[in-house]
Amino acid sequence: MVYTVNKVISYEEKIVNRTMKNKFLEIAIKAVNKACVVTRKVQADLTRIQQLEKNDKSPVTVADFAAQAVVTHVLEGALGKIKLVGEESSGELRLPDQQTLCQSVVKATQTVWAEATIEQVLDAIDLGDHNASGSSYWTLDPIDGTKGFLRGGQYAVSLAFIENGEVILGVLGCPNLSSDFDRLFSDPDPQGLIYFAVAGEGSWFIPANAQNTEAERLEVTQNEGLIRICESVESGHSKHDDTTRIVDRLGGAGESARLDSQCKYAVVARGQADAYLRLPTRADYVEKIWDHAGGMLVAQEAGMIVTDIVGKPLDFSQGAGLKNNRGVICASPKFHGQIIATIRDLGIA
């Protein structure tokens, strides 16, 4: 598969590890692309998606496991031994009473990794067991927005590389996101998009599952009108009432758009909304790195500002959780400061 990734990188001659980053990017895009093929196939038969409930009551499906197996398999096949902090692990799938689900995961994985055996798939899932103690590692949410995935809506395959606490590469597969801004988020696009970014080198996108495509760079023009906001569908993930209070103060352009997953970062990065608000619903919730790393870099490299609700940068040096932050505000420079000030004035932070 040939992307214009080389072109993306080549103008920045001074970058240290340029060749490494270029290779990582190409492999990461390939891995996410293949995972999207699997998730799309599973989602095509919505009513039959097999799933489990995790300890925290969140769902995990056949496609979450299969996508993690595919991504780690592709990365390790191309790069050798990897460290990856993944959202899923194979524990449940190894239990005797979960063998039907396990077989389905293997079958889904075989869509793009034809000869995969049960043991290989389980081991590949567990390549995502790094505890974020290394100085550099990958992080993966194989299906971010699983609830959206299950309702036939938006979800993302999010892969990022973190080095010394900095996110330096992010690839965000958005299989149901349309390039047509008028298409409802609840109406899945037949092709979808993959956004990617390398620190210091901009944000780019290609159609998902396309061969030999030229990547296009995101170039956002400033919105001169009222603020347009997006947020989670799930009121348990972001406090909708607080969004309303903020919008009432700022004078919003209408209803906030609601969609699941890190696709929200892409929606802001491409100028379809001016801000993504993630306002804490609980004092003790710690955001996970895999829920933000890929999306954050795509938004930042498109010129957006990403912080927590008090305006602090997201701190990726604290292991698998963003312990030093609460909530997330991703917004264009024009609106970011106003949002942080409003949050402070309203006593939300």
Using CB under 6 A as the criterion, which residues of the chain lie in contact with ligand AMP when the complex forms?
Answer: 144-145, 148, 232, 234, 236-237, 260-261, 281-282, 285, 288, 291
Burial class (CB in 10 A: 0-12, 13-18, 19+), 67: buried
Q: In degrees rounded to 5, what are phi and psi of residue 123? A: -65, -40
Beta strand ranges found along the chain (DSSP E) = 51-53, 59-61, 84-86, 136-144, 156-163, 166-174, 193-198, 203-207, 216-217, 229-231, 257-258, 275-278, 305-307, 328-331
x/- binding map, residues 136-175, to Mg ion, per CB under 5 A? -----x--x-------------------------------
Residue closer to Mg ion by CB (options 39, 332) is 39
237 makes contact, choosing from ligand AMP, Mg ion, none, with CB < 5 to 8 Å by partner type, with ligand AMP
- Give me the least distance between CB of 278 and ligand AMP, in Å please: 7
Please answer whether residues 256 and 205 qualify as being in contact, where contact means their C-beta atoms are separated by less than 8 angstroms.
no
- State the virtual CA torsion across 125, 131, 134, 139 in degrees, nearest 10: 50
From 39, 72, 139, 146, the catalytic residue: 146
- Give me the least distance between CB of 305 and ligand AMP, in Å please: 19
* CA 39 and chain centroid, separation: 14
**Which residue's Cβ has the minimum distance to Mg ion?**
144
**Angle at Cα 189 formed by Cα 187 and Cα 193, nearest 5°?**
135
From 64, 144, 189, 308, the catalytic residue: 64
DSSP assigned state of 221: P
Annotation says 64 is catalytic: yes
Annotation says 129 is catalytic: no
Hey, which residues between 264 and 303 contact Mg ion (CB under 5 A)? 291
285 makes contact, choosing from ligand AMP, Mg ion, none, with CB < 5 to 8 Å by partner type, with ligand AMP
Does 260 interact with Mg ion (rule: CB under 5 A)?
A: no
- Give me the least distance between CB of 144 and Mg ion, in Å please: 4
Sites of contact with Mg ion (CB under 5 A) = 141, 144, 291
Active site residues: 64, 146
